[in-house]
Chain A
Amino acid sequence: MNNKLVINYIPGPTMLHKLTGFTKVFLFAVMSAAIISTFDIRLLVPLLIINIIEIISMKPDYKPIVIMFTITFFTVTLLGNIMLFFVSPGVGLTNVGAEHVIWRLNDRLYLSKEFLWYIFVFFIKRTASFASVIAFALATTPSEFASGLNKCGLNYKVCTIVSLAYRTIPDIANDFINIRNSMMMRGVELSKKASIGKRLKNTVLILVPLIFTAFGKVGSIANAMDLRGYGKHSKRTWYAEHEKTKWDPVIRALTVLLLALTLYYIIRYRIIDPYPVDYWCPWVAREEIQKVNSLDTLFILKWIRKLKGE
């Protein structure tokens, strides 16, 4: 069950697993901020490598991770980029600031070196975020996540919702399977024999009893929590927030360092002396960069302009 969902309910044995919830949440938050804030491959690659090392150090079961990665790769990256190529082959120019055409069909459809660079960097960025999410999910139990969030200053009621959600996922999955089985016996076709549309429609049938049984449980859970004093005080302590290990201060210090670097990068390269475009590219010198309004590259606009005879 743990492996299928990449959720760890039992703390693992490695150094990262054993850190306190706060350290892990803090690291994850800063890591996400760093990855989000930049399109610079000189930063993204090291961040990706750090996250991959984290994942390897936890010795996980790679199968579900590989499956998830493959699915996102094919749907988001491959499909997305092919569509992007048809819709807007000029993104290289707008984001990287130059255009070296390799292949051209006509005015509207062409392939440039910068387009390839753009999708490559974007892929690295997406993979780095993916890796950081996986690293965090592997390292953190839901309770640690909740207690860590609370330590970061979030209201504890919000944090409990997080851990309760994780608490119920396996139960709901179980109910779903049971209900699906009984539906299949009544003749609801959910196997590959039926068309996708029909399967979707039939899946909705399962959701009706699933939702009702889930709501039925909410009342009992709420009562159980009230009866044990949940919400008595404005704060609470956390069993899951255990003592610091000797690595906690080290990782926290490194996280602060990463935070400082990210802030420095943002201030230096995006505020004080902003780089003209988002994407740094090894073969495009700063002086050569042309600034183009991204809307201008959309082929629909080009087409409309052409019609107007501009």
Chain B
Amino acid sequence: MKEPIISFKNFSFRYNAQKNPTLHDIDLDIYPGEKILILGASGSGKSTLCNCINGLIPFSYEGEITGTCTVNGIETSSASIFKLSDSVGTVLQDTDAQFVGLSVGEDIAFSMENDMIPRAEMLPVIEKNASMVGMQNFIDHVPFNLSGGQKQKVAIAGVFGNDVEILIFDEPLAALDPQMGMTAVELIDDISKETGKTVIIIEHRLEDVLHRPVDRIILMAGGCIVADMSPDDLLRSSLLSEYGIREPLYLTAMKYAGCSLEGNRNLCDLASLEFTPENEEKLKAFFTEEREAVKENTNEPVVTFKDVSYSYDRGKKVLQDINFEIKRGERIAIIGRNGAGKSTAAKLLCGIIRPDSGTITLEGTDTSKLSVKEIGEKVGYVMQDPNTMIVKDIIKEEVGMALGFRDIPQEEADRRVNNALETCGLYRMRNWPVDSISYGQKKRVTVASMMALEPDVFVLDEPTAGQDFRSYTDIMEFVNTLNRDYGKTILFITHDMHLAIENTDRAIVFSDGELIASDKVFSVLADPDIISRASLKQTSLYNLAIKLGLEPESTIRHFIEYEREVKAHE
């Protein structure tokens, strides 16, 4: 038996600022060369656990440690973070903040600079590490023009600067679009295979990580390890739903079809999964049975783009002849890779920028006649990070702020604020300070502050980015209420395929400034060409359909329709 490279023994940790320990009685051995996934919802302690390994605890976050944690023979509670940084490399979640250098080369060199390695010796190492992650042609590039995925690659090359034994990836998928995320998972796997280093991935997006195999999954909840098992065993168990982790879509489909998960080999990898004959039958029957089609939305259009073009400065066109219509009460996913034009389209809709040519009509009015402020009364734009929108201390003041800038009688303003608070489920908390509420609740506050202006259309920019399954469900249930009960039209700017599948009726897809699709979500997701141009990723439903020899489009449609029915009955 090999010696473990990381070993927790009866380990507990309590942050100084907190009353109760964040980690309880952790007993965990990780062996050299293993590839481990640490899975858990937000607040489960998974990030704290990894900070114990890389030395940020107790170096940067002080607290009380009981028990022992040994990493590569070093007892972490007494070792310096610098000693640990020689054996542990950590790639953080925020791809932008961890980019310290002002060029790719400089960032990769950062740890070598700190080790006082002469520049001449750095250069070949930078070259080698950059080509390992495929960034060798970007050495002189500045961070501002790189995508999230490229920044992450640089971060990976950077931790290789001091030739570490253990690599930790803290939520590597959080800031990436689906295609980049897939590439990242592949890259991590290649590195783990080629170098034989110990790899620890911390994530809550199970399906995406399982795109490539992992040796073991450690499931965490409430600061404890609740499971330490092989991926197959975990998927077969009921632990995922119990602890708020989203299961892979194909598994959901199997459950809908009434399949038993016992007896299927390679459950964690759809490509090599072997269905029992019985399950195969059940799935085929499920996906081909007749189902009532979702009825078409026949309302009048609220938003119309007609031949809209836009370019920043005199340069390249950012949007070219865009035409689309959105009907009242629709839920739309606006999809496309970064820079494809989806944010520009949203800005045009909100009047922050104006089209070079073409017209945008909002509820029958040409928006060129309206000011940004007036458009703001028809379209509520909710930014990705609620912290960038909130300016007041008290929830009620924040929600009422926009009304204060308009000549609205006090009585009417109060009515609207109370209404908005009520609708968003915040009335009870109206006098609470904004600091005291959770991320999801802050999201509600930002929606409520738009709601006070009583717009009919909401644009939500990545509403669930970086959120775990529970928070995701919470936010989406809330948004769906707005749509269902209050008839609001909702536009999601998103990369999240789950969001598009479960919560939208139609997808508008941008690529290189053109609108390449405006169709039902299942049709878009069944079109490989659109998928690659929009930097999406084939959903596992698509692959499942291919595997079963079914038609992908109707398979995905069946799934969506069945899911809506299930949801409607809940």
Contacts and interface: CB of A to CB of B under 8 A. Distances in A.
B60 A223 contact: yes
Contacts of B394: none
A241 B119 contact: yes
A142 B109 CA distance: 16
23 contacts: A9-B142, A143-B103, A167-B100, A167-B143, A171-B96, A171-B144, A182-B388, A185-B373, A186-B401, A186-B402, A186-B449, A186-B450, A187-B406, A188-B405, A212-B387, A224-B98, A225-B100, A227-B55, A227-B92, A232-B82, A237-B116, A239-B105, A239-B126
B372 A185 contact: yes
| 5 cross-chain pairs, A with B, having the tightest CB-CB distances, nearest first | A187-B405, A220-B97, A224-B98, A239-B109, A186-B402
B143 A230 contact: no
A228 B387 contact: no
Interface of A: 1, 9-11, 141-143, 163-164, 166-167, 170-171, 175, 178-179, 181-189, 205-206, 208-210, 212-213, 216-217, 220-233, 235-243
Interface stretch (B269-277, B317-325, B375-383): B375-383
Nearest to B117: A237
Contacts of A213: 385, 387-388
A205 B389 CA distance: 10
- Counting chain B residues whose Cβ lies within 8 A of the other chain, the interface size class is 35 or more
Interface in B354-391: 372-373, 375-376, 379-381, 383, 385, 387-391
B164 to A, nearest CB: 10
B46 to A, nearest CB: 16
A229 B383 CA distance: 35
Contacts of B387: 209, 212-213, 216
Contacts of A236: 113-114, 116
Interface in B89-122: 89-90, 92, 94, 96-103, 105-106, 109-119, 122
B405 A239 contact: no
B188 interface: no
Given A141-B102, A213-B388, A229 B109 contact: no
A164 B82 contact: no
Contacts of A220: 92, 94, 97-98
Contact of B102 (A9, A179, A229, A235): A9
Nearest to B51: A223
B302 interface: no
Contacts of A171: 96, 144
A178 B55 CA distance: 36
B552 interface: no
Given A221-B98, A226-B60, A233-B116, A189 B405 contact: yes
Contact of B106 (A181, A184, A228, A240): A240
A163 B102 contact: yes
A229 B94 contact: no
Contacts of B111: 228-229
Nearest to B386: A209
Nearest to B111: A228
B231 interface: no
A217 B94 contact: yes
A187 B82 CA distance: 50
A10 B140 contact: yes
A18 to B, nearest CB: 13
B350 interface: yes
A225 to B, nearest CB: 6
A182 B383 contact: yes
B113 to A, nearest CB: 5
B38 to A, nearest CB: 17
Nearest to A206: B391
Contacts of B391: 183, 205-206, 208-209
A23 to B, nearest CB: 16
B210 interface: no
Contacts of B401: 186
A227 B164 CA distance: 12
Contacts of A222: 60
B85 interface: yes
B402 A179 contact: no
Interface string B393-417: 0000000011001100000000000
Contacts of A240: 102, 106
Contacts of B103: 9-10, 143
B162 interface: yes
A19 to B, nearest CB: 16
B389 A229 contact: no
Nearest to B385: A213
A238 B113 contact: yes
Contacts of B352: 181, 184-185
B264 to A, nearest CB: 41
Contacts of A206: 391
B97 A228 contact: no
B159 interface: yes
Given A170-B144, A228-B111, A175 B388 contact: yes
A183 B122 CA distance: 46
Nearest to A175: B388
Interface string B214-238: 0000000000000000000000000
B81 interface: yes
A191 B110 CA distance: 43
Contacts of A216: 387
Contacts of B100: 164, 167, 221, 224-225, 228
B98 A239 contact: no
B56 interface: yes
Nearest to B446: A182
Contact of A143 (B86, B106, B118): B106
Given A178-B388, A212-B387, A239-B109, A228 B59 contact: no
B142 A228 contact: no
A114 B112 CA distance: 59
A227 B117 contact: no
B158 interface: yes
B261 to A, nearest CB: 39
A182 B453 CA distance: 14
